[in-house]
């Protein structure tokens, strides 16, 4: 079922006046389990993460009349929304967990957003932003449960198809709330491409939801990949995932993510955040990888504090020695 909107030529032109066409690199390690492995590098996007695609489409390509917008975010959606709001001349109020990365908070403030820190995780930030929207009349914009956000995200996969004419057999996509996965499934729904949704093994909200046939809420989750720590998959992404014929879920560990951060830096000079490296971790440890197939992994973002980046590099080296 087609849920996202088709692109109009005028919208496409205005969209790429703001959004960058990000590079598609071959993974440079000599040891890969695939015939080819490519990296779609969204660390080179505006705001250093793919989220600006959806917020740009939502605020800059539509005819919406809001003057004040609000969102709950673990960082990158709030950053993308604050940038799009600044371009459009809107006020943005972003509710974030208190442990959100400093680099993301500083960038949101630089964009003119009002940041409200909330004790707890994304769920508590979501509740606070919903209350703010009801009290003030501000427009709440979800980072994943929004048709226009998902439509904007499809631009990433359109670029991949244009950048690599031979196409890919498998696409690895990180999954938090599901907005990027939904876009991927929609774009490739009529193509012979397997889509692998990648979740943190301690936060498998979509995997459990698909297994139970309904959206579940995780009671317990832990980890450092904040963009993957979402207790419940979005309603729209879940509907799309349920109907997909080409979707497979795969779980990765924090250790594998740390290793992927180091390998991305070592082989390609890409500085990825933990969620951004998750799809690469999956591609390198996927048990059905084939030397006869071509794969692409979405490096979804690179907003990581220096201390966290160094910690990931060091812990990866220690894990390799263990």
241-285 pLDDT, tens per residue?
Answer: 999 999 999 999 999 999 999 999 999 999 999 999 999 999 999
Cα–Cα dist 105/285, whole Å: 32
pLDDT at residue 303 in the model: 98
59-101: pLDDT as tens digits: 988 767 789 999 999 999 999 999 999 999 999 999 999 999 9
pLDDT at residue 14 in the model: 86
What would the mean pLDDT of 116-134 be, rounded to a whole number?
A: 97
pLDDT at residue 318 in the model: 60
By mean pLDDT, which of 23-32, 57-66, 293-302 is the weakest? 57-66
DSSP 133: H
Please say whether the beta carbons of 304 and 101 come within 8 A.
yes
Pairing of the two strands 139-140 and 247-252:
unpaired
Q: Would you place residue 201 in the very low, low, confident or very high pLDDT band (cuts 50, 70, 90)?
A: very high
What would the mean pLDDT of 208-231 be, rounded to a whole number?
A: 96
Q: Would you place residue 322 in the very low, low, confident or very high pLDDT band (cuts 50, 70, 90)?
A: very low
Query: What is the full DSSP assignment across 189-204?
Result: TTSS-EEEEEEETT--
Structural domains for the chain? 9-49+146-321 (3.40.50.1100), 51-140 (3.40.50.1100)
pLDDT at residue 106 in the model: 98
pLDDT at residue 5 in the model: 58
pTM: 0.95
pLDDT at residue 7 in the model: 67
Cα–Cα dist 217/23, whole Å: 36
pLDDT at residue 292 in the model: 98
Q: Would you place residue 33 in the very low, low, confident or very high pLDDT band (cuts 50, 70, 90)?
A: very high
> How buried is residue 2: exposed, middle or buried, by Cβ count under 10 Å (0-12/13-18/19+)?
exposed
pLDDT at residue 272 in the model: 98
pLDDT at residue 12 in the model: 81
Cα–Cα dist 125/75, whole Å: 11
pLDDT at residue 30 in the model: 85
What would the mean pLDDT of 179-206 be, rounded to a whole number?
A: 97
Q: How far is Cα of residue 163 from the mean position of the Cα atoms in its chain?
A: 20
Q: Would you place residue 2 in the very low, low, confident or very high pLDDT band (cuts 50, 70, 90)?
A: very low
Percent of the chain with pLDDT over 70: 95
pLDDT at residue 3 in the model: 46
């Amino acid at each position: 079922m087609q849920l996202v909107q088709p692109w109009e030529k005028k919208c496409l032109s205005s969209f790429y006046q703001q959004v960058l066409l990000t590079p598609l690199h071959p993974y440079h390690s000599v040891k890969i389990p695939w015939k080819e492995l490519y990296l779609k590098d969204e660390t080179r996007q505006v705001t250093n993460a793919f989220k600006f695609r959806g917020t740009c489409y939502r605020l800059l390509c539509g005819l919406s009349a809001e003057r004040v917008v609000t969102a709950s975010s673990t960082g990158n959606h709030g950053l993308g929304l604050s940038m799009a709001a600044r371009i459009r001349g809107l006020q943005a109020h972003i509710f974030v967990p208190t442990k959100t990365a400093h680099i993301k908070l500083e960038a949101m403030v630089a964009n003119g957003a009002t940041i409200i820190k909330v004790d707890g995780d994304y769920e508590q930030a979501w509740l606070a932003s919903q209350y703010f929207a009801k009290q003030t009349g501000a427009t709440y914009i979800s980072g994943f449960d929004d048709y226009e956000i998902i439509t904007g995200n499809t631009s990433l996969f359109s670029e991949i198809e244009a950048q690599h004419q031979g196409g890919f057999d498998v696409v690895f996509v990180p999954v938090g709330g599901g907005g990027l996965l939904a876009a991927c499934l929609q774009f490739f729904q009529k193509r012979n491409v397997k889509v692998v949704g990648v979740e943190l093994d301690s936060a498998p909200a979509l995997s459990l939801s698909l297994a139970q046939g309904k959206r579940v809420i995780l009671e317990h989750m832990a980890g450092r990949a904040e963009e993957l720590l979402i207790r419940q998959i979005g309603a729209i992404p879940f509907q799309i995932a349920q109907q997909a014929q080409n979707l497979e879920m795969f779980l990765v560990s924090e250790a594998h993510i740390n290793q992927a951060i180091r390998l991305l830096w070592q082989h390609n000079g890409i500085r990825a955040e933990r969620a951004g490296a998750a799809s690469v971790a999956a591609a390198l440890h996927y048990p059905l990888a084939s030397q006869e197939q071509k794969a692409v992994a979405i490096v979804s973002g690179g907003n990581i504090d220096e201390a966290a980046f160094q910690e990931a590099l060091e812990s990866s080296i220690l894990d390799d020695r263990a």
